[in-house]
A and B are shown apart, each in its own frame.
Chain A
C-alpha cells in the first residue's frame, strides 16, 4: 500500500521536474533564442548599460542570461519551485505567477464541470445502449454517438458561437462574468458566471459525452458476457444485485483508467474553447502569450496546465485502489492477473476514443 502510494507520488514529481526542465531548455536552445532577442531589443531602444539590460532580462525570465547554462538552469528550477516564473512582457508590472494563479480557477471550473456532466451522461447512455443493443434507441444513439465522437471540439465551439452568440444574441461570447456584477459570493455574480459558462461547457459536453458513452458501452458489453455474471444470474440473484455488484463495479474499472487518461485531453481542449469564448482561464492566457511572444507567461501557463493534469492523475491513481483493491497487493495481482490479462487492460482499444485523442 505505502509502496504503491509512494511510487505514484514520486512519479508525479518526476514528471513535473521533467516538464520544468523541458520548458527551460526549449526557450533557450531553439532557433531565435527569445532571451537574446530581448537583449538585442533593449539595446536597440537605446539602452547602453549591459548590466541594466541583463537585470531587465533577468526580471522578465527569472534567470540571469549570462553565466554557464547549468547555473541558469539551477536558478530557474529553484525559482519555479518557489513559484517565481518571472514577469509578463504583455502585462507590464504583473508577475507571471499572479496571472496564472488567477486563471487557474476558471479552467478548473470549466474542465471540472464539463468532465462531471459528460462523464455522467456518457455512463447512462453507454449503459442503456449496452443493456438493450437491439432497440431502435440503441441503434440511433450508437450512430449519433459515433458521429459526435469524431468531431473536433473546436468546430463545435465555432458553430455555437456563430449561431447562438454572434448571429442570434442568446448568449454572451466573451469573459467569464458580466462587467456590471461585483465578483464575490453574491447571487448576481454567480448567476452571471453560470450564464457565461453555459456555451463553453456545452461545447465540451456535446463532443466528450459521446466518447464516454462509447467507452462505457464497450466496457459493459465485455462484462455482460463474463462467466461470473452468468453464474450470478444462475444462482438466482436479483436483477438489481447483479447489475450493481457484478456488472456495475467491473464495468467501472476501465472507466477510471480512461478518466485519468482523458484529463490531459480535457485540458488540451480547454485551450481552444477558452480562446474562442475569451474565457480567462489558462488556455486563453497560453494562446494570448503565444500570439504576443510573451515566452515567460507562455511557459508559466504550460507548466501550470501540466501540474494540474499531473495532480489530477495522481488523485485518480490514489482512489483507484478503492475501486480495484488488487492493484495495491502485488501478490494477489500476480495471482489474479497473468501477463495476458494485464495486457488486455493496457491496450487502448477502439471503443475508447477518449484515450486515443491527444
Chain B
C-alpha cells in the first residue's frame, strides 16, 4: 500500500509521467477491446483517400477502408508481440544475469563472454535475417526472434547487481542456513533487482515494437492481417508517398507508434524516480 501511495504521489507531481501512464493504459484497453468493437467490412465502405468526416474520422485508405478502424484493429498484434517479447527478454536476462553473478568463477566468465558476443552483434540485421529465413506468421515465434539479442544488455546489468549483492550480509546469512540455489536466486536475489527489471521491461517493450513494426514496414515479416507496420508498408507500396491526399492514412499509424513509444518512455521514467530516490532530488 505504501508503495502504491508513493507511486501515485510521483505520478501526480510529474505531469508527463502521468500522461504517459494514462496513454499506455488507453492503448492496452484498445488492444483488448479493439477487435471486439471494430470490424473491417468485406466490401470497403468508402472511396479511396477520403478526407476526414463524421463517417470516417481519419479518412480512408487506398481501397476505401476506414483508417480509424484499421488503426484500432492493428493495435492488438503490435502490443501482444511487444509484451510477449519483453517477457522473454526479461526472463532470459534475469535468469542468466542472476545465475552468472551468483555462481561466479569460470562458469560466470564463460557466460559473460557469450553475452558479450550477443551484445556486439548488431541486433536488427540479425533479426531481419532470422525473420526472413523462418518466415513465420505466429506472434509467439516472432516474439522469440525479436528477443534474440535484446536480453544480453539486461543480463549484464543484472549480473553486476547480483555480484555486489553477493557480498552483502543478508546473503551471507542465507548461505550459512544452507539454502538451495533456487531459493538463493529466486527468493534472496530476485526481489533486489526487481525495480530495475520493471523499468527494463517497459524499455524492452519499446525496443520490441520498434523492431517489430520495422520488420513489417520493410516487408520482411509476412504481410497478412492488419497492424500498424503493415499499414505503413501498404501505404508506401500503394503509392501513398506520391500523393498529398494520402497524408492522413500514412501519418495515422506512425502517430500511433510514436505516441505509444513516448508514453512508455515517460512512464518508465516515473518508475525510475519511484525506485531511485536519488533522482527525485535532482
Within 8 A of B (CB), among A31-74: 31-32
In the assembled complex, the Cα of A143 lies from the Cα of B266 at a distance in Å of 11
B149 within 8 A of A: yes
- Main secondary structure, interface of A, reads helix
Q: Assess whether A264 is in contact with B258, with CB atoms less than 8 Å apart.
A: no
Bitwise interface map of B from 126 to 149 toward A, beta carbon under 8 Å scored 1, else 0: 111110111100000000000001
In the assembled complex, the Cα of A350 lies from the Cα of B19 at a distance in Å of 19
Q: Assess whether A166 is in contact with B282, with CB atoms less than 8 Å apart.
A: no
Q: Assess whether B207 is in contact with A356, with CB atoms less than 8 Å apart.
A: yes
For residue B156, which residue of chain A has the nearest CB?
A346
Cβ contacts under 8 Å, B120 to chain A: 15, 264, 309-310, 313
Q: Separation in Å of the B142 CB from the closest CB of chain A?
A: 14
B113 within 8 A of A: yes
Q: Separation in Å of the A7 CB from the closest CB of chain B?
A: 10
In the assembled complex, the Cα of A143 lies from the Cα of B265 at a distance in Å of 12
Q: Assess whether A287 is in contact with B164, with CB atoms less than 8 Å apart.
A: no
Cβ contacts under 8 Å, A355 to chain B: 153
Instruction: Flag the segment in B45-53, B70-78, B181-189, B210-218 that touches A.
Output: B210-218
Cβ contacts under 8 Å, A154 to chain B: 214, 217
Within 8 A of A (CB), among B102-142: 113, 116-117, 119-130, 132-135
Partner of A269, one of B124, B156, B261: B124
Most buried by A among B121, B135, B156, B242: B121
A159 within 8 A of B: yes
In the assembled complex, the Cα of A23 lies from the Cα of B219 at a distance in Å of 21
Q: Assess whether A309 is in contact with B160, with CB atoms less than 8 Å apart.
A: no
B232 within 8 A of A: yes
B56 within 8 A of A: no
Q: Assess whether B153 is in contact with A167, with CB atoms less than 8 Å apart.
A: no
Given known pairs A14-B117, A287-B220, A348-B153, the reply for A264 and B254 (CB within 8 Å) is no
Q: Assess whether B220 is in contact with A290, with CB atoms less than 8 Å apart.
A: yes
Q: Separation in Å of the A336 CB from the closest CB of chain B?
A: 16
Q: Separation in Å of the A167 CB from the closest CB of chain B?
A: 5
In the assembled complex, the Cα of A149 lies from the Cα of B200 at a distance in Å of 16
Q: Assess whether A287 is in contact with B236, with CB atoms less than 8 Å apart.
A: no
Instruction: Flag the segment in A117-125, A181-189, A244-252, A337-345 that touches B.
Output: A337-345
In the assembled complex, the Cα of A310 lies from the Cα of B118 at a distance in Å of 11
In the assembled complex, the Cα of A18 lies from the Cα of B272 at a distance in Å of 36
Q: Assess whether B134 is in contact with A350, with CB atoms less than 8 Å apart.
A: no
Given known pairs A150-B261, A298-B132, A348-B157, the reply for A268 and B254 (CB within 8 Å) is no
Q: Assess whether A299 is in contact with B123, with CB atoms less than 8 Å apart.
A: no
B96 within 8 A of A: no
For residue A26, which residue of chain B has the nearest CB?
B133
Bitwise interface map of B from 256 to 279 toward A, beta carbon under 8 Å scored 1, else 0: 011001101110110010000000
Given known pairs A150-B261, A339-B164, A343-B163, the reply for A356 and B122 (CB within 8 Å) is no
B67 within 8 A of A: no
For residue B157, which residue of chain A has the nearest CB?
A347
Cβ contacts under 8 Å, B116 to chain A: 11, 15
Bitwise interface map of B from 215 to 256 toward A, beta carbon under 8 Å scored 1, else 0: 001111000000000001000100001101001001000100
In the assembled complex, the Cα of A264 lies from the Cα of B46 at a distance in Å of 45
Cβ contacts under 8 Å, A279 to chain B: none
In the assembled complex, the Cα of A41 lies from the Cα of B161 at a distance in Å of 54
Given known pairs A152-B213, A158-B250, A348-B157, the reply for A271 and B128 (CB within 8 Å) is yes
Cβ contacts under 8 Å, B199 to chain A: 350
Q: Separation in Å of the B124 CB from the closest CB of chain A?
A: 3
Q: Assess whether B236 is in contact with A291, with CB atoms less than 8 Å apart.
A: no
In the assembled complex, the Cα of A195 lies from the Cα of B211 at a distance in Å of 29
Q: Assess whether A149 is in contact with B265, with CB atoms less than 8 Å apart.
A: yes
A90 within 8 A of B: no
Cβ contacts under 8 Å, B117 to chain A: 11, 14-15, 18
A306 within 8 A of B: yes
A131 within 8 A of B: no
For residue A355, which residue of chain B has the nearest CB?
B153
Q: Assess whether B121 is in contact with A15, with CB atoms less than 8 Å apart.
A: yes
Q: Separation in Å of the B40 CB from the closest CB of chain A?
A: 23
Most buried by B among A146, A159, A264: A264
Partner of A356, one of B129, B153, B211: B153
Residues of A in contact with B (beta carbons under 8 Å apart)? 11, 14-15, 18-19, 23, 26-27, 30-32, 133, 143, 146-147, 149-152, 154-155, 158-159, 161-162, 166-167, 221, 261, 263-265, 267-269, 271-272, 275, 283, 286-287, 290-291, 295, 298-299, 301-302, 305-306, 309-310, 313, 339-340, 342-344, 346-348, 350, 353, 355-358
Residues of B in contact with A (beta carbons under 8 Å apart)? 16, 113, 116-117, 119-130, 132-135, 149-150, 153-154, 156-157, 159-161, 163-164, 167, 196, 199-200, 203, 206-207, 210-211, 213-214, 217-220, 232, 236, 241-242, 244, 247, 250, 254, 257-258, 261-262, 264-266, 268-269, 272, 282
Q: Which 5 A-B pairs have the closest CB atoms?
A: A268-B124, A358-B123, A343-B160, A346-B160, A264-B122
10 more CB-based (< 8 A) A-B contacts, given A133-B282, A221-B282, A350-B269: A152-B213, A154-B217, A269-B124, A271-B125, A298-B129, A299-B129, A302-B125, A347-B196, A348-B157, A358-B211
